[in-house]
Structure 1
């Protein structure tokens, strides 16, 4: 059961494995599973391109023995996600990757011209720290997704375990460089965890 307490007009989650500082995120990871140190070559391209930026809410979560989902919302209490993806990585593997302190996911899709907005694409080839993992698939929120996100509506920042679901929620800088490139970067005041998501499209 999730309990909450006030923090600056919002609330933060209070549960058995609650993490109140990003510096303790690695301790949560140790509860759950190879860390690689490769670099995503597109990073400099994204950060140096002229792009529009905004701030959004991002949540990654999953059952200990299940796969991870990524949910991007305009704000923590939004009812309609900008994007909900099922990632090709088990929760316990992601937890081990987090212990390295730097995680960069890249999602690549190849489509025909005029195929629609970038984040509307249904499937992506997925990479983690330069290593190909498989495919990420866009999906609609299930009842379980909706219930979890409703529990966390007033949470701005939090990481922990609730009912066997490991979660991490934070605010992300969104950089929209073009119709074919988008990226999200965790805003971490402690600078202890780097977490970024890059979306790239090329045409067939």
Structure 2
């Protein structure tokens, strides 16, 4: 995440394929123009999901976390060709923990907000190295339990194979929604916003990075977000894995 202001890009509308889960009920701030997600529910067969997951990724060894292997990204010729794309925003105060917001589009209410076990300034340093792999793991449930992975409340978090604490799902706060409102016209980019936090005071700045993410649903126990860089860009690579192990 950069510490420079940017001019917002023109937002692009995208379809969003959601898993069968109940959308979060958030308290809307006054004068908010964010809208509810469309809540499209398209179920695909298990065989198709497995096949799609296999052709989109290939494994590397990650001995520091429980996962035996994690995909390292989308094939070079494949990027930007899938129809499942969401807006992801990483934001937070420098001395505070960074949060991840996932939206159907920049104009929609968040469908997921996760507070990660990492300070914003630490994530900025990791991103400057060029490649970040975040794994959010939880224990497997009974086979008959149909709870989807993004409906969990708590995950053990690893960053580039190192355990760093816990990721916590939470309802979108009024401050979260205000941030999404301010960034409604931004489709991709990074910068800072004026903040109002007990951590850094009213003069503190809130850093953010927004991008499109490719969303791969392997099963109810596995979902992955791959950050998509603009065509021709050599920006940092970021992948976020939600898995049961």
The equivalent of 2:119 in structure 1 is: 90
Unmatched 5+ stretches in structure 1: 11-37
- What is the match of residue 198 of structure 1? 241
CA distance, structure 2, for counterparts of residue 183 and residue 201 of structure 1: 12
Structure with the higher fraction of residues in helix conformation: 1
Correspondence list, 1:100-179, <5 A? 100-113=129-142, 114=145, 116-163=147-194, 164-179=205-220
1:20 maps to what in 2? Answer: none
CA-CA distance at 1:46 after TM superposition? 8.3
Secondary structure at the counterpart of residue 136 of structure 2: strand
**1:39–1:130 Cα contact (<8 Å) kept:** no
The alpha carbon displacement at 1:174 in A equals 0.5
The answer for unaligned runs of 5 or more in structure 2 is 13-59, 63-67, 76-81, 195-204
The 1-side partners of 2:189 and 2:213 are apart by: 13
8 Å CA contact 2:97, 2:117 repeated in 1: yes
CA-atom RMSD in angstroms: 2.5
Native 8 Å contact 1:53 1:176 kept in 2 = no
Q: Partners of 1:6 and 1:137 in 2: how far apart?
A: 29
Q: Secondary structure at the match of 2:172?
A: coil
* Structure having the larger proportion of residues in strand: 1
2:110 is the alignment partner of 1:67: no
Aligned equivalent of 2:70: 43
**2: CA distance, partners of 1:115 / 1:151:** 36
